[in-house]
Amino acid sequence: MIDIQKVALTSASAGGAGWLALLFFQTSDSSETELIKRIFLLGIFVIVPLGLSLVATIDRGRHSRLYSLAVVAQPIGAVAACISFFLRPGLTAALLASTWLFVNTLIAFFGMWRFWRRGMFPVEETCVDVGLLYLPVGGIWFVMSRLGIQPFGFGDTIVLLTAVHFHFAGFAAPILAGMAGRLLNAQERPPALFPLAGISIIGGTPLVAAGITFSPALALIGALVVSIGLTLLAGLVIGSLLRKVEPTTARILLGISSLSSFSAMVLACLYAYSIVSKKLIIDIPQMAMTHGLLNAFGFATCGLLAWSIIKPQTRVRASVPGSIREPFRGNRV
C-alpha cells in the first residue's frame, strides 16, 4: 500500500529542488514583484506539501479520500500555478491558477471533514483545521492576481501579497501552532496559555485581511493579535519544549522558527503602525526582504521541517458525530 504521507514529503522534497531551479528564471521586470512571486512559489511547492504531511487523520485504518486526493493533486496544481507566472495576466493564466485553487479547495474540505468528525476540541487540532480552511482564500486572491483584476482598488502587488499571506500566516502558522500544541498538551501539566496563543493566531489572520481591505486601524489590531499569539507560542516552545526535543537537528530548526516568528511579527506591527500613523517606517519592498523572508524561510520552512522530523502524535481520533469520542493513542504523522 502506498504511504500517502510519504508522498506528501516526497512532493515537498521535489518541490524544493524545483523551486531552487526556478531561481534561475525571471518572470517579472520588478525585483520587488519577483521576490514576492518566489516566496509564493515556495509556499505552493514546499510549505503546503510539508503541512499536508503533518495533518493526516487516519480513520478506521485508512486515510481520508479527500486527503489522498489533495496530496496527489498538489504537485499538479503547483506546476500549473508556476506556469501561470510565465504568462501575462489574463484568462489563460487565471485558468492555470484555478488548478491550484481546486487543490486548495480539496484541502479545505479535508479540514472541514476533520472538524466535523472530531468537534471543537482539542484546541491544537482546531488550529490545524482552521489552517486548512484558510488556504483557499489565498488561492482566490492568486487567481485574481493572474486574471489581472484589482479588487477594492488594490494594486497587483497587494493582491499577490494577500495570496502569500494566506499561504504562510493563514495555512502554515496555525498548523505549526497545532503541532506545538500536540506536544505541549501531552505534558503532565499542559500550559494554560496555549489556547490563548492558538486563538490569537487563528483569529488575528482574518482581522489583518479585513483591515487591509477596510481599515488600517483594524489591520494594526489584527497584526497585534497575531503577534501576541506567535510570541506566546514561541515562548512556550522555547521554554517548555526545546530542551526535550530530539534529535538536535529538529531542536535547532524549531529554535530558528520560534525566533524568526518573533522578529517577523515585530516588523509586521511596525508596518501596520506606519500605515495608521502615515509615517513611513518600513515600506513594502523592505517588508518583502525582511518580514517576508523571515516568515517564509525562518518561521514556516524551518518550523515545518522540524515537526516533520519530530512527528508529534495527535491525542484524539476522528469519530462519528453523536458517538462517544474515544481516546486515541495517536498515529505518527
Neighbour count for residue 32 (Cβ, 10 Å): 16
Decide: 191 and 240 in contact? Cβ < 8 Å: yes
* 107 vs 148: CA distance, rounded Å: 25
Grid cell for residue 209: 485581511
Decide: 251 and 242 in contact? Cβ < 8 Å: yes
What digits encode the pLDDT tens for the residues 115-133? 988 878 889 999 999 999 9
Q: Is 133 left (phi over 0), alpha (psi -120 to 50) or beta?
A: alpha
What digits encode the pLDDT tens for the residues 230-278? 999 999 999 988 888 889 999 999 999 998 988 877 777 777 777 777 7
* Largest Cα span, the chain: 59
Mean pLDDT of 212-219: 76
Q: Which of the four pLDDT bands, split at 50, 70 and 90, describes residue 52? A: very high
> What is each CA distance from 61 to 52, 57, 58, 84, 112, in whole angstroms?
18, 10, 6, 38, 20
Specify which of 1-5, 50-54, 285-289 reaches the highest per-range mean pLDDT: 50-54
Phi/psi at 281 (5° precision): -105, -45
pLDDT of residue 59: 63
Q: Where are the alpha helices (DSSP H) in 85-172?
A: 91-118, 123-147, 156-167
What pTM was estimated for this model as a whole? 0.89
Decide: 45 and 74 in contact? Cβ < 8 Å: no
Burial of 25 (0-12, 13-18, 19+ CB in 10 A): exposed
What digits encode the pLDDT tens for the residues 291-326? 778 889 999 999 999 999 998 877 765 443 333 233
Share of the chain above pLDDT 90, in %: 52
* 295 vs 311: CA distance, rounded Å: 22
With 90 as the cut, is the pLDDT of residue 99 above it?
yes
* 14 vs 306: CA distance, rounded Å: 18
Q: What is the mean pLDDT of the chain?
A: 86
